[in-house]
Amino acid sequence: MKKVISVVLSLVMVFGFVLPVFAEEVTDKSCDCGFNPVIYVAALGSGTVYENYGTDEEKALFRPETGPLVAEAVSVILPALPALLAGDYDTFGDALIGFVNSAFGGLALDGDGNSKEGVYAPEEYPETGDHGIEHSFYFGYDFRLDPYTHADRLHKTIQLMKELTGHDKVQLKASSMGGVVTMAYLERYGTDDIETVIFQNCPIQGTAVAGELFCRKFEINKDALVNYALDAIPALEQDFFQGFLYGLATALDDLGVWSTLLTLVDPIVENLLDRVYDEALIPIFGTLPGIWSFVPDEYYEEAKTVMVNEETQAGLIEKLDNYHYNVQAKAPEILREANKTAKIYIVAGYDIQRTPLVSAYMNTSDGTVDTKYASVGAVTADIRSTFPQGYSQAVNDGHNHISPDFCIDASTCALPEQTWFIKDMLHCTTHEGHDKFYEKMLTGDEQFYIDTYEEYPQFMQNNIPDQTFNKVENLSATELFKKQPNFTNFVMMLRSFINVIKSFFAGLFVK
Ligand SMILES: [Zn+2]
């Protein structure tokens, strides 16, 4: 009896003593700042992929240092140029493919989608509980691998973040490929730990450039190439330099220089494309689930017949199918489900010329990701054109979802009331205006929508000089072009100068 009493007593003492301390520790750890920590799920290339990491032979495979890479390209390709000029495509092809393999060959994954021994991106985890609008945790990853691999690591990161900060939820801001990782995360783990998700220019449903390249639909279109160069120029943010490059690019176009250059490139493409695919693209990039996650559904099965082998790559194909059919193909359902308990914001850019290497160069995009895929379902008119007259909104939900410039219909989006379109926003290129917009998403307690704030309507015109957004004007592309004061004078001047020279030579030679 005595023994029982003493056990009970000691139990009482232990609990009476320990419990309050334990409880105090818990309250100590939780944070009442009111702002759940932000994890920035970064873009492709966010984690450096090394070969022989930590040894004397350590080499950054991706992204490689530009200097040595260019030096290697020059030293290998330059000596092969005479062969190219002489029409000896085999010799030139050997040099080109040799270079690609030596620079990127180490990235290739095996038949199960696993990396070579010693090739990886070192993993980083949060070490402090710092959080706040200025303190987000940067989540980088090895872009080559199955997005689910990163989703698992993101889950681990989120648990650590919660422990370190004393918050029971986190907020995710995904940029570009970060959206692929985030979608895989939402599919596998749901939103129990998530307050907010921002998708910025993410290939949630892929990007046409990956789909078409993986289907061997390679094409260089001259006009698209020139527009691509011109659309990238405003990102330089230097008026004189911008004006100069813009003038030069359009002037060279007027002179027919681009067309001439492309006729030189044509036979190279014709003679070498198959070899480049068979000896470099397929054995390297075709083995990377990360790149496969960019292949849109409409290309996916065809791309598999081009890029993978069912017998030697069965394990890889299982991973590809798992992401494709359970995440990308189910994106609208995953987003709607997540939105039941978490705030979701989707931002897509439009009206930037997309990569000119594929036949889908007419898709409006942010330069990298097609607007229809980043917005998860918008109907879009071809770049620099509008819907045909009489076009009416695809889904009538009682209010307008067609852009003032009549080229985007957002009514078909997975989440039409919380998807924004920023005209002339170059892929993941932001300014203070974006920061303020995202801050509203991260600091607000409630989900806001396209009609919540007058300054953030569904369609916004990117205003880079003033770091803000304007209303999208109801103007045609040519009218808008004329309104750009930075370029116009310089371009006009250069164009008239070129035209004088052209007519001079025309007069000299033609007559
Ligand atoms: Zn806090």
| 167 Cα–ligand 1 center, Å | 6
The pair of three-digit structure tokens given for residue 245, joined into one six-digit string? 């490059």
| 456 Cα–ligand 1 center, Å | 27
The pair of three-digit structure tokens given for residue 65, joined into one six-digit string? 């240092």
Beta strands across the sheet bearing 468-471:
137-139, 38-41, 170-175, 194-200, 343-350, 419-423, 459-463, 468-471
| 33 Cα–ligand 1 center, Å | 4
| 132 Cα–ligand 1 center, Å | 7
| 133 Cα–ligand 1 center, Å | 10
Share of residues in the chain with pLDDT > 70 (%): 84
* 107, 288 Cβ separation under 8 angstroms: yes
Q: What angle do CA 115, 121, 124 make, to 5 degrees?
A: 135
Taking the CA of residue 127 as centre, how many other CA atoms within 13 Å lie in the half-sphere pointing to its CB?
Answer: 2
| 30 Cα–ligand 1 center, Å | 8
| 162 Cα–ligand 1 center, Å | 10
Q: What is the structure's pLDDT at 487?
A: 45
- In the block, tokens 């709607």 appear at 336
CA–CA separation, 326 and 321 (whole Å):
8
| 32 Cα–ligand 1 center, Å | 6
Buried b (16+ CB within 10 A) or exposed e, 177-200: bbbbbbbbbbbeeebebbbbbbbb
Length of the chain counted residue by residue: 511
Instruction: Count the neighbouring beta carbons within 10 Å of the beta carbon of residue 485.
Output: 8
| 442 Cα–ligand 1 center, Å | 13
Q: What is the structure's pLDDT at 11?
A: 47
Query: E strands along 80-143, which residues?
Result: 119-120, 137-139
| 131 Cα–ligand 1 center, Å | 6
Residues, CB within 5 angstroms of ligand 1 (ion): 31, 33
Q: What is the structure's pLDDT at 503?
A: 54
CA–CA separation, 264 and 261 (whole Å):
5
Taking the CA of residue 251 as centre, how many other CA atoms within 13 Å lie in the half-sphere pointing to its CB?
Answer: 21
Residuewise pLDDT in 10s, the chain (511 residues):
445 545 544 544 444 444 444 443 444 579 999 999 999 999 998 889 999 888 898 888 888 887 888 888 889 888 998 998 898 999 999 999 999 999 899 999 999 999 998 899 999 999 999 999 989 999 999 999 999 999 999 999 999 999 999 999 999 999 999 999 999 999 999 999 999 999 999 999 999 989 999 998 877 777 777 777 777 665 555 556 666 666 777 777 777 777 777 787 888 888 899 999 999 999 999 999 999 999 999 999 999 999 999 999 999 999 999 999 999 999 999 999 999 999 999 999 999 887 777 778 889 999 889 999 999 999 999 988 899 988 999 999 999 999 999 999 999 999 999 999 999 998 889 999 999 999 999 999 999 999 999 999 999 999 988 999 999 988 654 554 444 444 444 555 555 565 555 555 555 443 3
SS3 content of the chain, % helix, strand, coil (to 5): 50, 15, 35
Q: What is the structure's pLDDT at 291?
A: 95
